[in-house]
Amino acid sequence: MNWVVAVDLGGTMIKGALVNERGETLAVQEQPTQTFKGRDYVLEERLLPFIEGLIETGSREGLRARSIGLAVASPLNPWEGILYNPPNFPGWGVFPLLSYLRERLSMEIHMDNDANLFALGEWLWGAGEEKSPLVGLTLGTGIGGGVVYDHGRLWHGAHGTGGELGHITIDMDGPPCNCGNKGCLEAMASATALVRWVEGYLREGRASTLSLGANAQDIALAAQQGDPLALEGFKWIGRNLGVGLASLANTFDPQLMVLGGGLSRAGMLLLSPALEEFRRRALPLQRDSIKVKLASLGKMGGVLGAAILAFSKEGNPGKEGGRL
Ligand SMILES: [Zn+2]
């Protein structure tokens, strides 16, 4: 059995594991990224020791790990491994992470955007049933996206940012987005968008069991207990998500759309209004045939996708050798 080292570098946590060709994991671990300590610290004191630790564990266990897959929460050029001003890593600027790591590690390494690799992980080992095209969305603080097509290839576009689905426009006059645009899906259907929406009404004095400072989890709990403002908030972001899903359906005509990320744990609170809006807007053929499912790999989606990337570059992935 072949193994790889798979790591997911996020703005809050670094996660990783040794992963084999069947998607089984060993030595699963996570650590805070501590981005506030700056780029050199994160690279030298967090990321490199984390990867080296997994390599050592692999050789101690007698596993033949031959390469590393890395998921990064950043807009990036996946071919050259260059990060472009990642909002999650303030001050990193334009940074050639892949060549930095290649100079310091004894093992071959490949990288891609974390949401792309989430989609790939779900496609092969999660809710994706190996159906393609598959559209994956991670709904969390922001919204990431990835598109798997042609039985296991990732859609990168011309500049590597082809799957930035969180920045499709839902409302041309909507709330501002981190990307500088207005009314993006991310600004209208993420956990942050939900919190801001609820805060706006709380400041206006709307009655609710919630108070200022409530996070998305608090709002989900309040909604489950019948709080009208919380329920309305989920209806709002759910509908926005549905508008986005209908546009994505028209763009990609996928077999399947998979929703992951922390906010997707709200389940039907989010999914019911999203599906209702999606079905209202989708073309009849899409409405009846495109499946929308919740992700099944939890927070390991990016790590498992990174493993599939590494295997595919070795030429022995789960399915389509070396085609990503
Ligand atoms: Zn945006």
Tokens representing 290 are 């495109």
In which band, very low, low, confident or very high, does the pLDDT at 83 lie, cut at 50, 70 and 90? very high
As a whole number, mean pLDDT of residues 282-310 equals 96
pLDDT reported for residue 314: 79
For residue 256, report the distance from its CA to the centre of ligand 1, in Å. 24
Average pLDDT value over all residues in the chain: 94
Full-model pTM = 0.94
Give the mean model confidence (pLDDT) for residues 278-290: 95
Phi/psi at 118 (5° precision) = -60, -50
CA of 101 to the centre of ligand 1 (A): 29
Q: Which residues make Cβ contacts (< 8 Å) with residue 19, sequence separation at least 6? A: 3, 4, 6, 25, 26, 303, 304, 307
Q: Taking a C-beta distance cutoff of 8 angstroms, is the pair 278, 249 a contact?
A: yes
pLDDT of residue 88: 86
Domain definitions of the chain by residue range: 3-119+299-314, 130-296
Half-sphere exposure of 166 (CA within 13 A, CB side): 29
Average pLDDT, stretch 98-121?
96
Cα–Cα distance, 323 to 321 (Å, whole number): 6
Distance 223 CA to ligand 1 centre (A): 27
**How many Å lie between the centroid of ligand 1 and the Cα of residue 236?**
18
Closest CA to 261 of 191, 163, 177, 197: 191
- Same CATH fold assignment for domains 3-119+299-314 and 130-296: yes
Dist. CA 139 → ligand 1 center (Å): 14
- pLDDT higher than 70, residue 317: no
Instruction: Compute the distance from residue 146 Cα to the ligand 1 centre, in Å.
Output: 15
**What per-residue confidence (pLDDT) applies to 35?**
95
The CA 167 to ligand 1 mean position distance, Å, reads: 4
Give residue 141 CA to ligand 1 midpoint distance, Å: 12
Cα 173 to ligand 1 centroid, rounded to whole Å? 13
Which residues place a Cβ less than 5 A from the ion ligand 1? 167, 177, 179, 181, 184
Side-chain-side CA neighbours of 111 within 13 Å: the count stands at 24
Q: Out of 3.30.420.40, 3.30.559.10, 3.30.450.20, 3.40.1440.60, select the CATH number for domain 130-296.
A: 3.30.420.40
Residue 136 pairs in a beta bridge with 146, 258
Q: Measured in angstroms, how far is the CA atom of residue 75 from the centroid of ligand 1?
A: 12
**Cβ burial 168-195 (10 Å sphere, 16+ → b, else e):** bbbeeebbebbeeebbbbbbbbbbbbbb
What mean pLDDT comes out for the span 71-86? 94
Alpha helices in 61-157 (DSSP H): 97-104, 114-125
pLDDT at 319 over 50: no
pLDDT category at 315 given cuts 50, 70, 90 is low
Backbone dihedral region for residue 25 (phi beyond 0: left; psi -120 to 50: alpha; all else: beta):
beta
pLDDT digits (tens, 9 = 90+) for 146-199: 999 999 999 999 988 889 999 999 999 999 998 899 999 999 999 999 999 999
In this predicted structure, what is the pLDDT of residue 87?
85
Ligand 1 centroid to 61 CA: how many Å? 44
| pLDDT confidence bin for 324, thresholds 50/70/90 | very low
What span, in angstroms and rounded, lies between the C-alpha atoms of 46 and 216?
28
Identify the pLDDT of residue 64: 81
Output the DSSP codes for 44-86.
IIIIHHHHHHHHHHHHHTT--EEEEEEEESS-EETTTTEEE--
Which CATH code for domain 3-119+299-314? 3.30.420.40
Chain centroid to CA 258: how far?
11
| Res 320: pLDDT | 43
Distance 162 CA to ligand 1 centre (A): 14
**CA 185 to ligand 1 center in whole angstroms:** 7
CA of 142 relative to ligand 1 center, distance in Å: 9
- Walk across the sheet containing 134-139 and list its strands: 153-154, 143-149, 134-139, 256-260, 291-294
Q: How far is the CA of 164 from the centre of ligand 1 (A)?
A: 9
